[in-house]
Structures are given as C-alpha cells and as structure tokens.
Amino acid sequence: MASRTPLMAGNWKMNLNHQEAVVLVQKLAWTLSDKHHDFAKAEVAVIPPFTDLRSVQTLVDGDKLQIKYGAQDVSTHDSGAYTGEISAGMLAKLGCSYVVVGHSERRQYHAESDAEVHAKAQKTVEAGMTPIVCVGEGLEVRKEGRQVEFTLEQVDGSLGDFTPEQVAALVIAYEPVWAIGTGEVATPDDAQEVCAAIRARVAERWGEAAGESVRVLYGGSVKAGNIAGIMAKRDVDGALVGGASLEADEFGGVCRFYDMPTL
Ligand SMILES: O=C(CO)COP(=O)(O)O
C-alpha cells in the first residue's frame, strides 16, 4: 500500500492582514517546534488570503520553516485583461505549494462549475503546484442520503481529463457544506464513508495506483479535540481546517493529531 503523508491545511478564508499573518505563522512555528511536531507524521500548510502570501513567503524562507503555504483560488487564465484575477504563475513565483480550488464558498457565491474548477486545477498543476480540489454535499442532499452520489459527480467533473499520474499527486478535500463553520462535525464514520467512496472512484477511473496515492482530506468544524477520531479512519489523509486554523495552539493540536485523545 502506498504510504500517504497526512496533510493538515489551514484555510484562513478572508481573515488576517499580512501583518497578522506573520504573527500567526510565527506562533504556529513556535508551537510546533515547542511540542516537537514530527513533520513526517503530518505536513502542515497555511492557506492565507492573496495579500498575505508575499509576507508568508519571506518569513518561511528567512526562518527556513517547514510550514508550507498556498492560495485559496486561482484564475483559469495565464495573463491578460482579467481585472482582479491572480494567475497560477504568480502563485508559483511566490513559492506556493498548494492552491485550493472549488471550495464550496466559491461554488456557492461565485457559481463555480465543475468545469471551471477543473480548469483551475489544471492551471495549478501546469504551474508545478498541487491543487486541493474541494467537493461535498449540502444539507438537503445529505438528508436525502445522496451524499456519495452527489460528491462523486463533483469528483468526476472537477478532475476531468487529468492523467492517472496527475490524479495520484493531487489532494481532494471532502467538505460537507452542512459541517462548514457550523460546529456540526461529521462523525468519523460519515467522513470515512465519503472519503472511501472518493478513493474507490479514483481507483476505478484512474487506476489502483492513483487510488492508493491520492490524498483525501476531511473538512468541516475540525478542531484539536475531534481530529484524532477522524484521522483514525483509513481513507482520511488529513484535514482542511477553517476557523480552528486561525489559532496557533488549536491548529497546532490538529497538526499533532497523533498525540490527541480519541473521543
Ligand atoms: O471550509 C472549511 C475549510 O476549507 C471548514 O471550515 P471550518 O473548519 O471553519 O468549519
């Protein structure tokens, strides 16, 4: 079985200016070093707003931190007359490792389609970064028990014509919309059900090796207190964390999931 290094990624959403970003990354680096976080047990990434990235790059490079960073969105275009857009090339130049694409907040507020999400993921890969492709159902779909079917449709549409090698290297984040920012966390079994179905679909469409290698994260009200139970599930390879990633100690606890009690 391929060994997948867990990834804990903190999606700050539209929070913290560049000065606050530097303070938080410094605190996070300190808490992880003080508690001797083992980066082989979990990769750590922060996903700040665009305006913070240059400052985070300077700090990470200057202090040689093992913390990685990425962006929350990217343009489907390379350059040109697209006011307000940020290209994958610009993000790669800033040292970004990851780009979140298709977050439910972008699908909901900016009507992003699976085709657009795929185009963004494609640009991210072409620029040498790793997309974190977000999928997940809303409350109505969950109530009807169609969460697997709905989410797999998003997986098919968002991954599109990627090759098996490209799919093997990417990250998929299962974020049930009803669990985002609500304090309503999916149970470890809920997370496992859909994450396992995503991996099985990848294996079916892109081959066993891609299914074994692709990292599938869970996102939705993750905190230090509930991460261990979620990570105990075999198809969950990490977490995409919103609110709890804005507190260094709390996010540090999520990163050290292997030291946390299972509730
Ligand atoms: O949307 C999320 C991460 O991308 C989850 O947000 P919360 O952790 O605040 O529920």
136 is in an annotated binding site: no
Whether residue 185 has pLDDT greater than 90: no
CATH number of the domain bearing residue 54: 3.20.20.70
Instruction: Determine whether the shortest distance from the Cβ of 250 to ligand 1 is under 6 A.
Output: no
Tell me the pLDDT band of 2, cut-offs 50, 70 and 90. low
80 is in an annotated binding site: no
Just list the catalytic residues: 103, 175
Helix, strand, or coil (residue 98): strand
Q: Whose CA is closest to atom 2 on ligand 1?
A: 242
What value does the mean pLDDT take over residues 100-117?
Answer: 98
In a domain, 58, yes or no: yes
In a domain, 150, yes or no: yes
Among 98, 178, 218, 222, say which to mutate for ligand 1: greatest number of ligand atoms within 8 Å of CB. Answer: 222
Q: Which domain holds residue 82?
A: 7-259
Whether residue 80 has pLDDT greater than 50: yes
Whether residue 1 has pLDDT greater than 50: no
Tell me the pLDDT band of 183, cut-offs 50, 70 and 90. confident
In a domain, 76, yes or no: yes
Q: What is the position in ligand 1's atom list of the atom closest to the CA of 243? A: 9
In a domain, 209, yes or no: yes
Helix, strand, or coil (residue 133): strand
Domain count, the chain: 1
pLDDT digit string (tens) for 186-237? 899 999 999 999 999 999 999 999 999 999 999 999 999 999 999 999 999 9
Ligand 1 center to residue 103 CA distance, Å? 10
138 is in an annotated binding site: no
Name the residue among 106, 102, 105 with its Cα closest to residue 160. Answer: 102
Ligand 1 center to residue 260 CA distance, Å? 20
What gap in Å lies between CA 160 and CA 181, rounded to an integer? 29
What gap in Å lies between CA 15 and CA 166, rounded to an integer? 31
In a domain, 2, yes or no: no
Instruction: Determine whether the shortest distance from the Cβ of 70 to ligand 1 is under 6 A.
Output: no
Q: Across all residues in the chain, what is the average pLDDT?
A: 97
11 is in an annotated binding site: yes
What value does the mean pLDDT take over residues 152-173?
Answer: 98
Pairing of strands 238-241, 43-47: unpaired
In a domain, 41, yes or no: yes
Ligand 1 center to residue 261 CA distance, Å? 21
In a domain, 1, yes or no: no
In a domain, 213, yes or no: yes
Ligand 1 center to residue 182 CA distance, Å? 9
